[in-house]
Structure 1
Amino acid sequence: MQEEVQHLAGEDFCYLTTTGRRSGKAHTIEIWFALNDTTLYLLSGGRDRADWVKNIHQQPAVQVRLGPTTYMGRARILARGTEDELARQIVFAKYAARSTDDLTEWSRASLAVAIDLLNEVK
């Protein structure tokens, strides 16, 4: 699957669909991402106050649309450490040159989330 996902790494956004922790309904957001192998990394500026992060705490099974393709995935909130630093570095590197804002503090203060892509939704 790695080869089929890598050509989508340059997409500007992904579309993350979580299951509402109260409603049980699908909720989709547009969000910046970076891809490493078959793991997608996101940063939540709202940290664990963001609804999508709260939803992941309750139900880590998610869907991610990259370009025209949708994948099933399993989300993980990252603790400080090697993978957390990787997430911050690669998301910052992807968007720092594209943004007119200084993203340094955002990349340091945000909550890092990993989504392991499992399979394509047919």
Structure 2
Amino acid sequence: MSGETATALAQDRVIDITTTGRRTGSPSRIEIWFHRVDGRYYITGTPGRPRDWYANLVANPAFTFHLKVSATADLSATARAVTDQGERAKVFAGLLAPLREITSRPGHAPEFWIASSPLVEVTFP
């Protein structure tokens, strides 16, 4: 991994991901935030409705993680759905700490995130 890529992973937040459609098998690219917690990488969404990107990653965990802010790189990645409630609570505690402006909104308290937000851990081969 280049120094530029490592720096982007350490400081950026906005990326694109390309997943493989669970029904169509076609690639689908979206913009999303990623988070770092205890040296690991995660992707989540706000509490509530199901997300296609999450369903795609559960069905097809291999995807492309596109850096696009401080560096440009297309990284092969693998997603693991985080479903264990204890692990989710620990991850969301770290992930939401710097996002108090979001978690103070109605319906966005940490317990809602833990209960109903999509969450995947991202690893790079």
TM-score, normalised to structure 2, is 0.71
CA distance in 2, matches of 1:111, 1:64: 17
The Cα of 1:94 is off from its aligned counterpart by 3.9
| Other structure's SS at 1:7 match | helix
How many Å separate the matches in 2 of 1:108 and 1:84? 6
Contact 2:89–2:114 (8 Å) recurs in 1:
no
SS of 1:17's equivalent? strand
Over residues 59-113 of structure 1, what are the superposed CA-to-partner deviations in whole Å (9 max), with x where a residue is unaligned? 100111123122111101012255423431333134335x596343453331321
1:23 aligns with 2:29: no
Distance in 1 of aligned mates of 2:73 and 2:5 = 9
What residue is the counterpart of 1:43 in the other structure? 44
**Could you say what secondary structure the match of 1:15 adopts?**
strand
Instruction: Name the counterpart of 1:32.
Output: 33
Task: State the 1:40 CA deviation.
Answer: 1.9
Alignment partners' CA distance in 1, 2:3 and 2:89:
24
Shift of 1:46: 5.6
2:100 aligns with 96
Say how many residue pairs are matched: 116
Q: Which moved more, 1:59-68 or 1:39-48?
A: 39-48
Q: CA deviation at 1:20?
A: 0.8
Matching residue of 2:83? 79
Give 1:41 deviation, angstroms: 0.5
Structure 2: state its 5+ residue gaps: none
Task: Give the root-mean-square deviation of aligned CA atoms.
Answer: 2.9
Instruction: State percent identity of aligned pairs.
Output: 26
What is the letter of the counterpart of residue 84 of structure 1?
R
Q: Which has the larger radius of gyration?
A: 2
CA contact (8 A) 2:88 2:114 kept: no
